Amino acid sequence: MARRTPPGPDLFDVEQKIVDIDVRDEMQGAFLEYAYSVIYSRALPDARDGLKPVQRRILFGMHEMGLRPDKGHVKSSRVVGDVMGKYHPHGDTAIYDALVRMAQPFTMRLPLVDGHGNFGSLDDGPAASRYTEARPAPAALLMTASLDEETVTFVPNYDDQLMQPEVLPAAFPNLLVNGASGIAVGMATNMAPHNLGEVIGAARHLISHPDASLDDLMRFVPGPDLPLGGRIVGLDGIRDAYETGRGSFRTRATAKIESITARRKGIVVTELPYLIGAEKVIDKVKTLVQSKKLQGISNITDLTDRTKGLHLVIEVKNGFNPEAVLAQLYKLTPMEESFGINNVALVDGQPRTLGLRELLSVYVEFRTDVVRRRTAYRLRRKEERLHLVEGLLIAILDIDEVIQLIRAADDVATARERLIQVFDLSELQANYILDLQLRRLTKFSRIELETERDELVREIERLRALLEDHQLLLNLVSDELAQVAKEHGTPRRTVLLESDGISATAAATTPLEVADDPCWVLLSSTGLLARTSTDEPLGTGGARRKHDVIVSAVRTTARGSVGIVTSDGSIVRLSALELPTLPPTNGAPTLSGGAPLAAFVDLPAGALPLALCSLSDAGPGLALGTRAGVVKRVNPDYPGNKDEFEVISLKDGDEVVGAVELTTGTEDLVFVTDDGQLLHFGADLVRPQGRTGGGVAGIKLSSGAAVVGFWALDPAADNVVVTVSGSSGSLPGTQTGAVKVTPYAEYPAKGRATGGVRCHRFLRGEDTLLLGWAGAAPPLAASGNGAAVDLPEATGKRDGSGTPGTVPITQVASGSV
């Protein structure tokens, strides 16, 4: 049989009360409550300790967990879970993000958390909390120091089960040192980090000079000090921020122009603006290059590692001014960013915009109150201890009577009452005596108690003096700040610049591409190449250094090309734009800043560079002399589409020993052979040939002889001939012989294809000329390492009779004169 269910109450049979409200008022009230909650409990830092609630709760949670910098790390998820369950009823992601930020050295100037594991970078996020570990950093102990000495007010947590600090004691101005950023409802804060030592210096100055002006404080804090350094350009915005709480400044990467290779310049970036990662710069540069908004960059490479830190290499194309490219990078990429300062923080629970002086004043007032409360707490504890010690000393003086009294008592309460009555003790003293251990009843313990009593009396007097004299309290605050700066301060990392160092006019007139201005391309005796910045005539004299002996020079333009004549009868094309530029000099140019020939061209095996030549189709062309005595004038019909081409057809075993570019076609062509013969004749006696021609007979050689030098000279100039003799049987580098300098006019002209005249008479032990040279006086030689060597004066005797000036042959054998 079915059971009948009794009817329930009528759900609609209730007294209903409907209240009409204005939706606008309800929305306004709800929004204001939400906005206040976001402002006060989430987004804005407190001006006293510089922490947001989540940061404060993380540090307090780690303090309560017993974590210390000298103990092991624990899983970050353990810290997050403990903080979330006890103090911060929000998502674990928000808590972990705040913990990660406090551990990142590139975000905070003085990190408060010591992270172990992947805590992210400027380009990548951190690993999950289950993979990372954390513990308080040494600076975190400064934030929580004396927390258990009633220095700050404690308030209930979100469920009224636990107590948490309203603010941390903060032994240093954390808000200025580490900065802050946050977005609330209708307002935001963005504060830059500063140097700990500078901020504490300003705070101490404000303590000793309460009426200090902003200029006085800025002598200690000239500007922000960003964690990764960089440069701050323009200080006007910083002063505005320090004065009104609002301002802006430009942060710029630290970059310098270096030689990436011997033939290419580059921009090396070692520091980036605040919170800008290398990947962000690389992506922006690539995007601008692809869209052709940024020119002159051939490659960008990130060589950052743990040893040398950030190292971003930006290669500049040949033909572009690196300075102009760097200016474009600053303008178009995150290598220069603007940082807007908005110093909004909570003061007495209300958001305020604060300048530098107000921020320091709030902190100094707060820290003074912390030290006062700590002093009062310590005074109370000292007085309580002194009270117990005095009672214990009374009991020890009459210890036999005390013991007898206690033994005669029926219970503890009776013993307490009789102790109070007989010895005039307080209840606390009586309880302390009843809890006394027998081992304390020795003579030595009495001496210890008397010593402790005297120390307590002195300490109480000191603490009372601090509470009674406000100036002493301020001095203590200042001294403690100085100790913090001494232990935790670091040098400034960010460079402050009044301006960018380049005027607007100079920046506008600096061309992006290198102008095609005339210049000289130079080749030194040690194979270094360079070009001058102007086409001024090459100077002479001045201090000579290594690599300063120039064996060949040719005039061209900065974007032009020159040829390198090699001993195998070829010309290799070389772009002048790739060569390093020499600074202007009054004397002879120095090639110590040049680059080696091998950095620009690859010569065939066994081929040697002889001289430079222009590749112009105008002019009388090039004159060549070979070891077998062949001479050739080359028609200047060089191909424009080849980087290497032949200019003479050589017979087997022959090679070019000299190459000179003719200027008028009326020069004298000069041969010098290793058996001491010299022949010169007019260049007009040699008919120009095409590039495939093999030349004509230049000098008639005796059996076994060979040409050691070939030149083209202006017969009207003051020329000399230099010959160096030695022994063909000596080992290379050990020859000893003689060098002779003779006026060129001493040698008569002879016909082409003749044997010429004697130019050097060999001394005992000599049988060959090691090298010869002919050119304008005064001559200069080079040693094997490129050092300049002065040669003797001309002897005036062409056959070598008399006493020639001698120089050790090892000084000039491997160089050129």
Q: How far apart are CA 510 and CA 562, in angstroms?
A: 27
Say whether pLDDT at 212 is over 80: yes
**Residue 656: enclosing H or E segment and its boundaries?**
strand 656-661
> Contact, 582 vs 590, CB < 8 A?
yes
Say whether pLDDT at 626 is over 50: yes
> Contact, 198 vs 225, CB < 8 A?
yes
Q: How far apart are CA 320 and CA 511, in angstroms?
A: 8
Strand partners, 521: 531, 554
- Tokens describing residue 586: 């009054």
Task: Tell me, letter by letter, the H, E, C secondary structure of 418-431.
Answer: HHHHHHCCCHHHHH
Q: How far apart are CA 28 and CA 21, in angstroms?
A: 12
> Contact, 200 vs 172, CB < 8 A?
yes
Q: Is the dihedral of CA 165, 166, 172, 176 positive or negative?
A: positive
Cis peptide before 351 (omega within 30 of 0): no
Say whether pLDDT at 147 is over 70: yes
Question: 535-581 pLDDT, tens per residue?
Answer: 777 766 556 665 567 888 888 888 888 999 999 999 998 888 888 88
Residues ≥6 apart with Cβ < 8 Å to 716? none
Q: What is the mean pLDDT of residues 585-589?
A: 68
DSSP character at residue 439: G
Say whether pLDDT at 287 is over 70: yes
Say whether pLDDT at 240 is over 80: yes
Report the range of poorest mean pLDDT among 83-92, 400-409, 643-652.
400-409
Question: 15-38 pLDDT, tens per residue?
Answer: 677 878 877 877 877 666 666 566
Q: What is the mean pLDDT of residues 237-259?
A: 92
- Pairing between β-strand 719-726 and β-strand 668-673 as defined by DSSP bridges: unpaired
pLDDT for the residue numbered 226: 95
pLDDT for the residue numbered 588: 67
Q: How far apart are CA 108 and CA 102, in angstroms?
A: 7
- Tokens describing residue 130: 């289950």
Residue 258 gets the label, from left (phi > 0), alpha (psi -120 to 50) or beta, of beta
Given the residues 36, 131, 158, 638, select the one marked as catalytic.
131
- Pairing between β-strand 495-497 and β-strand 231-233 as defined by DSSP bridges: parallel
Average pLDDT of the chain to the nearest whole number: 86
pLDDT for the residue numbered 535: 76
**Residue 463: enclosing H or E segment and its boundaries?**
helix 443-468
For residue 525, name the pLDDT band (cuts at 50, 70, 90): confident
Q: Which residue, 466, 432, 457, 472, is CA-closest to 382?
A: 457
The half-sphere exposure of 515 on its side-chain side, counting CA atoms within 13 A, is: 8
Q: How far apart are CA 145 and CA 139, in angstroms?
A: 10
Mapped onto helix, strand or coil, the DSSP state of residue 683 is helix
Locate the domains of the chain by residue range.
37-170, 254-334, 370-488
DSSP character at residue 791: P
Alpha-carbon distances of 318 from 518, 549, 583, rounded to whole Å: 17, 27, 18
CA angle 774, 780, 782 (to 5 degrees): 110
Alpha-carbon distances of 238 from 73, 221, 337, 344, rounded to whole Å: 39, 10, 15, 15
Say whether pLDDT at 11 is over 60: no
DSSP string, 154-191: EEE-TTSSSEEESS---SS-HHHHH-EEEE-SS-EEEE
Alpha-carbon distances of 569 from 159, 290, 444, 613, 654, rounded to whole Å: 94, 43, 106, 13, 10
**Residue 258: enclosing H or E segment and its boundaries?**
strand 254-261
Say whether pLDDT at 802 is over 50: no
Q: What is the mean pLDDT of residues 82-111?
A: 94
Q: What is the mean pLDDT of residues 410-437?
A: 86
Q: How far apart are CA 358 and CA 207, in angstroms?
A: 13
- Tokens describing residue 451: 């010593």
254-334: CATH topology:
Gyrase A; domain 2 (3.30.1360)
Give the global pTM.
0.73
Say whether pLDDT at 183 is over 50: yes
Say whether pLDDT at 116 is over 90: yes
Residue 419 neighbours by CB distance under 10 Å: 25
CA angle 169, 173, 174 (to 5 degrees): 85
Q: What is the mean pLDDT of residues 522-541?
A: 79
pLDDT for the residue numbered 704: 87
Q: How far apart are CA 307 and CA 517, in angstroms?
A: 42
DSSP character at residue 440: G
Alpha-carbon distances of 242 from 218, 239, 284, 768, 799, rounded to whole Å: 8, 5, 33, 83, 86
Question: 757-799 pLDDT, tens per residue?
Answer: 998 888 887 888 888 888 886 666 766 665 666 677 766 655 5
- Tokens describing residue 560: 């032009």
Q: What is the mean pLDDT of residues 238-259?
A: 93
- Tokens describing residue 440: 């304390």
CA 67 to chain centre: 35
pLDDT for the residue numbered 102: 96
What percentage of the chain carries pLDDT values higher than 90? 52
- Tokens describing residue 387: 């009270």
Residues ≥6 apart with Cβ < 8 Å to 488? 110, 138, 139, 142, 172, 196
DSSP character at residue 699: B
CA 271 to chain centre: 5
Buried-state track 184-222, b at ≥16 Cβ within 10 A, e below 16: beebebbbbbbbbbbbbbbbbbbbeeeebeeeebbebbb
Residues ≥6 apart with Cβ < 8 Å to 21? none
Say whether pLDDT at 623 is over 90: yes
DSSP string, 572-606: EEEEGGGSPEEPP-SSS---TT-EEGGGT--PPTT
Q: Going edge to edge, which strands form the sheet with 570-575?
A: 609-614, 561-566, 570-575, 644-646
> Contact, 725 vs 736, CB < 8 A?
no
**What angle in degrees, to the nearest 10, is found between the helix axes of 412-423 and 399-408?**
140
pLDDT for the residue numbered 13: 59
Report the range of poorest mean pLDDT among 110-114, 293-297, 585-589.
585-589
pLDDT for the residue numbered 234: 85
Question: Locate tokens 């903060």: which residue?
Answer: 170
Query: Is 1.20.1250.20 the CATH classification of the domain at 37-170?
Result: no
DSSP character at residue 438: G
Query: Is 3.10.620.30 the CATH classification of the domain at 370-488?
Result: no
Report the range of poorest mean pLDDT among 417-431, 593-607, 678-692.
593-607
Question: 305-357 pLDDT, tens per residue?
Answer: 888 889 999 999 887 888 889 999 999 999 999 999 999 999 998 899 999 99
Q: How far apart are CA 371 and CA 378, in angstroms?
A: 10
Q: How far apart are CA 97 and CA 479, in angstroms?
A: 35
Residue 40 annotated in active site: no
For residue 808, name the pLDDT band (cuts at 50, 70, 90): very low
Residue 16 neighbours by CB distance under 10 Å: 5
> Contact, 86 vs 61, CB < 8 A?
yes
Q: What is the mean pLDDT of residues 125-147?
A: 95
Q: Give the 3-state secondary structure percentages of the chain, helix then strand then coil, rounded to 5.
A: 30, 25, 45
For residue 43, name the pLDDT band (cuts at 50, 70, 90): confident
Say whether pLDDT at 12 is over 50: yes
Q: Going edge to edge, which strands form the sheet with 719-726?
A: 738-743, 719-726, 768-776
